[in-house]
Amino acid sequence: MAVGFDIADEALAESVQQGMDAVERLLHESVRSDFEFATRTSLHLVDAGGKRFRPLFVLIAAQFGEEVTEDVLKSAAIIELVHLATLYHDDVMDEATMRRGATSANARWDNSVAILTGDFLFAQASRLVADLGAEAVRRMARTFEALVTGQMRETIGPGPDEDAVEHYLTVIYEKTGSLIATAGRFGSWFADAAAPHVASLERIGRLIGTGFQISDDIIDIASPALESGKTPGTDLREGVRTLPMLYALADADLEPRLAELLSGPITEDAEVEEALALLRDSNGLAQARATLDDFADDARAELATLPAGPARDALSSLVDYVVARTN
């Protein structure tokens, strides 16, 4: 699977792949517009690919129900459309120039086009979710709210009396975990899974989604570029304080030089390397790994409440993957 982990059971893998192929077709159909330019700008990221982790999670969650229905496939496409919409908006806010190996929409066209394309994708997702009923619309509206408030929290930063780590964990739940939680709910719900299983899969999505962002934080510091495929220190260059940095800054034995380096964006390559070396030796990185392990343990505890079988094994492998990718 594109996300980076394998589904061991051949029958499940084939079923999920067929579902993913159907979702891919639906994504392309959904962004077609009478206004050709809107279609072209929307396909810019659709065709760039990506992990497609969220629709994959929808399809695995559906395995705990009766069958993979058309509504399951539609909900998987909705989730991915919303995710893609947020990427267009994120790239404008971050002034990004690249996305998924291609020139970002804001760099290829301009910020206005990128923002409007994100809005267009939100509109297409809303159109599709209306076919799934009022409760699905309410659920997606709450997810939209979480995505927006998470971005606002990150932009404003923690208040003077607010714990920086708790603030950060809330931000990454809202910005990342909330949509994956909805993916777990939609996949199982539209496959007619039992209510307790729907609730468990929603919680698992929240835990995996939040854990995935923590693992990204760790990889940005701990993994050499050749191993991770990413340029380490990206967060340092952008002045983003991720979980390992927040833990390091809260440490009573914090290295003064590290505190100085973390005071703002770092522009010099040599200082980025210096900060990475100090962070790798800090308690902050170890604490972030421990927090990731806690999220993984909570996800495994939720998994234990689900029926045994290939789908549960696949989700267990996914949890293991989220942790193992940081090693």
Domain boundaries, the chain: 194-327
Please measure the distance between the N-terminal and C-terminal CA atoms of the chain and give it in whole angstroms.
20
pTM: 0.92
C-alpha span between 171 and 153 (Å, rounded): 6
Instruction: Give per-residue pLDDT as tens, 282-309.
Output: 999 999 999 999 999 999 999 999 999 9
pLDDT at residue 125, rounded to an integer: 97
Q: Which of 215, 142, 150, 207 is nearest to 180 (CA)?
A: 207
Given a contact cutoff of 8 angstroms between Cβ atoms, the answer to whether 93 and 106 are in contact is no
Low-confidence ranges of the chain (pLDDT < 70): 1-5, 94-101, 224-230
pLDDT at residue 228, rounded to an integer: 43
pLDDT at residue 46, rounded to an integer: 80
C-alpha span between 257 and 261 (Å, rounded): 6
Report in angstroms the alpha-carbon separations of 270 from 116, 238, 266: 38, 15, 9
Widest Cα–Cα separation across the chain: 61
Cα 74 versus chain centre, distance? 19
Residue 272: Cβ within 10 Å count: 18
Residue carrying the six token digits 């058309």:
70
Backbone dihedral angles phi then psi of residue 326, each to the nearest 5 degrees: -90, -5
Q: Which of 81, 90, 83 is nearest to 126 (CA)?
A: 81
Contacts with 186 (C-beta within 8 Å, 6 or more apart), sequence order = 58, 61, 72, 75, 76, 78, 79, 136, 139
Write down the architecture of domain 194-327 according to CATH.
Orthogonal Bundle (1.10)
Query: Could you tell me the two tokens for 121?
Result: 């994708």
